[in-house]
Structures are given as structure tokens and as C-alpha cells.
Amino acid sequence: MKAAIIEKKKGRLEVEFDDKVLPNALLGALAKKKVDAYVYEQHPLLADYRLHIEADDAMKELHGAIKAVESEWSEFGKELKGKLKPAKKEREKKPAKKR
């Protein structure tokens, strides 16, 4: 995944991504903190997605959103791995069928 800062001004930040998953996840984290932000596509035929943030310290808000998303995805990964392990053990415990 690629990301590039397109615009960085006081109170405004715009980052371009080549995939829509991360900017939308960051948008969710920003929305929880009530930060003015949105995601948009420049053109339907181009595979680029932009996250636009307006805040007193937009870069600080982006860093906070990144930490929040990292934490959520880490927790999700641990939870999913925990749910996958018991399923594997159950398969191993089943006795073999007698013929």
C-alpha cells in the first residue's frame, strides 16, 4: 500500500492512498474524535483515494488515528487467532471412524 502527502498546510492535511481500506479506517478513527475529515476519489477511473483532514493540528490528529487503527487491528488479529486455535484442537480430538 502506498501513501503520499498531497497537501500540508496549517489546519489542513490531505493524504493520497492507492487503496480505500486504510483511509476509510482512519476516517472512522477521526470521526470518533469528532475531527472534520472525509475520504474522496478524484476520478472513478483512477485508483487513488484521498483523506482530507481539517483541524488545528491535522498531522497530530492523523498520528492519533493511525495509533487507534493499529490498536484496533492488533486486537482484532489476536481475537481472530484465538478463535481459530480451538477449532483446530477440536478436529484433532475427534476419534477416527472404525470400519
- Please list, in sequence order, all residues whose beta carbon lies within 8 angstroms of the beta carbon of residue 55, skipping any fewer than 6 positions away: 11, 35, 36, 37, 61
Q: What is the pLDDT of residues 4-54, one digit of tens each?
A: 999 999 999 999 999 999 999 999 999 999 999 999 998 877 778 999 999
pLDDT of the residue at 35: 95
Alpha helices, DSSP H only, in 34-93?
58-93
pTM for the whole structure:
0.75
Question: Can you read off the three cell numbers belonging to residue 82?
Answer: 484465538
- The domains located in the chain, with CATH, are 3-93 (3.30.1360.10)
Which residue, chain included where needed, has cell 472512522? 28
Asked if 81 and 49 count as a contact pair (C-beta separation under 8 A), the reply is no
Closest Cα partner for 15 from 59, 45, 70? Answer: 59
pLDDT of the residue at 86: 59
Closest Cα partner for 41 from 33, 52, 29? Answer: 52
